[in-house]
Structure 1
Amino acid sequence: MFREIKKNKLLPAVTVTDVHSALLVAEALLEGGINVMEITFRTSATAEAIRAIARELPEMKVGAGTILSPDQLSAAQEAGAQFGLSPGLNKQVVEKAQEHEFPFIPGVSTPSDIELALTYGHKMLKLFPVSDLGGENYIGSLEGPYKHTGVRFLVMGGVNLSNLKSYLESDMVTAAGGSWLTPSDLIREKKFKQITAIVRESVILAEQG
Structure 2
Amino acid sequence: MTDAFARIAAIGVVPVIAIDSVDHALPLADALLEAGLPTAEITFRTQAAVDVLARLRDKRPELLIGAGTLLSPAQVRQAVEAGAAYGLAPGYDPAVVDAARQSGLPFIPGVMTPSDITLAVARGCRLMKFFPATAAGGPSMLKNIAAPFAHLGLSFIPTGGVKMETIDDWLALPEIAAVGGTWIATTRQMHEGDWSGIRNRASAAIARVKELRG
Calculate the TM-score normalised by the size of structure 2. Answer: 0.95
- SS of equivalent to 2:124: coil
* Identity in percent: 35
**Partner secondary structure for residue 164 of structure 2:** coil
**1:68-118, Cα deviation, whole Å (9 max, x unpaired):** 111111000001111100000011101111111211000000000000011
- Does 1:124 pair with 2:91? no
- Which residue is 2:106 aligned to? 103
Stretches of 4+ aligned residues off by more than 3 angstroms: none
- Who is 2:96 aligned against? 93
Tell me the CA shift for residue 11 of structure 1: 0.4
How many residues are treated as equivalent by the alignment?
A: 209
State the AA in 1 paired with 2:98: E
1:190 to 189, 193, 207: 193
68, 82, 85: which one pairs with 2:85?
82
Q: Give per-residue Cα distances to partners, 1:157-177, cap 9 Å, x unaligned.
A: 010111012101111111001
Structure 1 position 39 matched with structure 2 position 33: no
Partner of 1:203: 206
Q: Partner of 2:65: helix, strand, or coil?
A: strand
Give the equivalent residue in structure 2 for 1:58: 61
- Structure 1 counterpart of 2:73, which letter? P
Query: Contact 2:97–2:109 (CA<8 Å) still a contact in 1?
Result: yes
Instruction: Report the counterpart of residue 29 of structure 1 in structure 2.
Output: 32
CA distance in 1, matches of 2:175, 2:107: 18
State the shift of 1:183 in Å: 2.1
- Where in structure 1 are there 5+ consecutive unaligned residues? none
